[in-house]
Amino acid sequence: MTLLHWILPLPAGYRRDDVIAFHSRDGEAVAEQVTPTGLRKGILLQGVPVALDVALTDAAAICRAEIDGAANTGLQAPLHGALLNILGLRIDPLPFAQLAANDTLLAPLVRLNPGLRIVQSASPFEALTWAIIGQQINLPFAIALRRTFILQAGRRHSSGLWCYPEAQDVARLAIEDLTSRKFSRAKAETVLRLAHLVNDGALSLELPPSGDVSAISQALLAVKGIGPWTVNYALLRGYGYADCSLHGDVAIRAALQKLLGEEVKPDMARTEQWLRHYAPHRTMAAAHLWASLHAPEKIVHRPGNK
pLDDT (0 to 100) of residue 297: 43
What per-residue confidence (pLDDT) applies to 73? 65
Domain boundaries, the chain: 2-90, 124-292
Per-residue confidence (pLDDT) for residue 28, from 0 to 100: 84
pLDDT recorded at residue 7: 94
pTM: 0.89
What pLDDT, on the 0 to 100 scale, is given for residue 161? Answer: 95
Q: Looking at domain 2-90, which CATH architecture does it have? A: 2-Layer Sandwich (3.30)
User: CA-to-CA distance for 134 and 190, rounded, in angstroms?
Assistant: 12
Run means of pLDDT, 10 residues per run, the chain, 306 residues: 91 92 87 94 92 95 90 80 94 95 93 93 95 89 94 95 96 96 95 97 89 90 93 91 90 92 92 94 94 58 42
Q: Which pLDDT does position 10 carry in this prediction?
A: 96
Q: Tell me the fold of 124-292.
A: Endonuclease III; domain 1 (1.10.340)
